[in-house]
Structure 1
Amino acid sequence: PVGALGAYAVLWWVTGLVNLTAPLRWGVFGQRPTAGDPEGMPVLTPVPFGGLDADTFAGTWLAVLIGVATLACAPWVTRLVVEGDRRLIRALLGPERLADRVRDLEETRALAVDDSVALLRRVERDLHDGAQVRLVAVAMGLDMIRERLDAEAEGKPLDTGRLRQLVAGAHQNATEALTELRDLARGIHPPALDEGLPDALATLAARSTVPVELSADVPHRPTPAIETIAYFCAAELLTNVIKHSGARQATIGVTQRDGLLRLRVTDDGCGGADLGAGSGLTGLAQRVRTVDGRLDIRSPEGGPTAISVELPLRA
């Protein structure tokens, strides 16, 4: 049947081209009716209009007009037949839903592996460039203090002012190292999440420099992985609001419905947020995708901006 439809589409082109040659066939090749012939030169059409013929040379130009109209409609008929053929091919020979699902899982697994590797690299870099440097400074300060105490034991005068300065420096480096380690641990798993996502978001909103209105309705607690992803999505989106939007007010809403956790962050800023703007939204989309989540961005130029994240309750 599909082949027959394809032949019918070709018929439109053939009949149109044949009708364009009607005057030539009449005048040059003598395809005109003989005397007493009740029927003239046939005029071809791709649809059953009935018997059309040309009895005079002027009538052949009517055949030309029919040919032009037929050729004008032929592309649309061809597109219709090809679209039906394409859909049939896709249905019969295209990838099945299971194959699509396997491919999607392969991609999300690769994204999850890349995300975990990037997290480990960030932790290693933060430790190497931050806390490790502070602890080395503490060790060096303590070595200098020990040397001065050993010198005092050998009878040399003790410079208490310099000793106090070394102790103060070691104490400051130790305090800063603890602060950096605490921030690093909070970046891996915020302690506020131990009390649940609503409390963690409340803490996040309270620390924001932009006024944030929070509404949370989460009757059933999601798994820890989902809570962590939702928290970091809210943190990244709120950071974008503070850095890029110029907003005076922001809202964070989290609800639970139809087996999904929905996080929505809005602001009254300048808008223009998109996945290619370098605002971290691409990373959020990849992180959300690893658990079959979805990121929706509505941010026209001039604002307002509304970004929604949908996550399953279980990873």
Structure 2
Amino acid sequence: MVFLAAGAANLAFGYWYVTIAYRPFARRVRELEQSRARVVDDSAARLRQIERDLHDGAQAQMVAVAMKLGLATKRLGGIIDETGQTDLERVLELVAAAHRGAKEAITELRDLCHGIHPPVLDQGLGIALTTLAARSDLPVELIVDLPERPSAAIETIAYFCAAELLANVAKHSGARHATLEVVHVPELLRLRVSDDGCGGARVENRGGLAGLADRIGTVDGRLQVASPPGGPTVVTVELPLHA
């Protein structure tokens, strides 16, 4: 809506001047700036967390693996020099520990990569959500109707929204069943997660839903939460098809 504010007439020159104020547009610009600022801060925090996870987790595991394999190598050298059976048993322990550490490091690296970009998204959002629903801790009914594939950025946002919402259902709702629906509506992708849990979900500062709202807001999407006490809870995400 455009608001017109007419100024006083200038009788000497015989004209009116009009001031046009685009108030809602300016407010929307401020909201987008604030939303993007929060997302930038969140992205920076996520990058710092990834760095810490790599340093304290996978990197530390690989360092430990290298040290254990180094000790095992020395022990093997001792065996070659005929130092005895005890060293052989210790070598086996070191190699077994190194093997476990290597597998744990691989798992951590896989989880980190999955948190940045799930490889299953390369096959499309429908397949990615099918995999996500199958791995859920509670039964999930999946409804997918996507005749047109969204852009990569929208697919990523939709996937992480679905993952976060299903995780919330499993952790907090006490639900026995959930429904994940992703459909194409005119000009939009609509994602909806509903459950038969206890209700009471709401958007709180620094909460998981607030983080989702900020991420959705960066592409001019919308988050709606309906969760009366006693349930059911229905969370709806609307995203543009392309960003």
If the length of structure 1 is used for normalisation, what is the TM-score?
0.68
Contact 1:222 1:313 in 2 (8 A): yes
Q: 1:5: which partner in 2?
A: none
Report the Cα distance in structure 1 between the residues aligned to 2:91 and 2:194, rounded to whole angstroms. Answer: 54
Equivalent residues in 2 for 1:179-218, closer than 5 Å = 179-218=107-146
Percent identical among aligned pairs is: 60
Pairs aligned (count): 228
Contact 1:262 1:311 in 2 (8 A): yes
Q: 2:159: which partner in 1?
A: 231
Which residue identity is paired with 2:219?
V
Match of 1:285 among 202, 213, 217: 213
Q: 1:127: which partner in 2?
A: 54
Q: Residue by residue, what CA displacement relative to the aligned partner does 1:181-233 show, whole Å, maximum 9, x if unpaired?
A: 01111111111111111111111110111100000001111111110110000
Report the Cα distance in structure 2 between the residues aligned to 1:211 and 1:201, rounded to whole angstroms. Answer: 14
Report the Cα distance in structure 1 between the residues aligned to 2:25 and 2:171, rounded to whole angstroms. Answer: 42
Greater shift in the superposed pair: 140-149 or 163-172: 140-149
Contact 2:64 2:98 in 1 (8 A): yes
Q: 2:231: which partner in 1?
A: 303
Q: 1:152: which partner in 2?
A: 79
Q: 1:143: which partner in 2?
A: 70
Match of 2:195 among 226, 247, 267: 267
Report the Cα distance in structure 2 between the residues aligned to 1:214 and 1:111, rounded to whole angstroms. Answer: 31
Relative contact order higher in (CA < 8 Å, ≥ 6 apart):
2
Contact 1:131 1:178 in 2 (8 A): yes
Which residue identity is paired with 1:238?
L
| 3-state SS, counterpart of residue 251 of structure 1 | strand
Which residue identity is paired with 1:118?
A
Instruction: Give 1:153 shift.
Output: 4.1
| 3-state SS, counterpart of residue 107 of structure 1 | helix
Contact 2:175 2:198 in 1 (8 A): yes
Report the Cα distance in structure 2 between the residues aligned to 1:269 and 1:129, rounded to whole angstroms. Answer: 37
Q: Which structure's residues are more often strand, by fraction?
A: 2
The unaligned stretches of length 5 or more in structure 2 are: 6-17
Which residue identity is paired with 1:138?
V
Q: Which structure's residues are more often helix, by fraction?
A: 1
| Bigger radius of gyration | 1
Q: 2:13: which partner in 1?
A: none
Report the Cα distance in structure 1 between the residues aligned to 2:183 and 2:95, rounded to whole angstroms. Answer: 52
Report the Cα distance in structure 1 between the residues aligned to 2:89 and 2:82, rounded to whole angstroms. Answer: 18
| 3-state SS, counterpart of residue 83 of structure 2 | coil
Contact 2:176 2:197 in 1 (8 A): yes
Which residue identity is paired with 1:234?
A
Instruction: Give 1:98 shift.
Output: 4.2
Equivalent residues in 2 for 1:41-60, closer than 5 Å = none
| 3-state SS, counterpart of residue 247 of structure 1 | coil
Q: Residue by residue, what CA displacement relative to the aligned partner does 1:84-112 show, whole Å, maximum 9, x if unpaired?
A: xxx877x9675444433432332233133
| 3-state SS, counterpart of residue 220 of structure 1 | coil
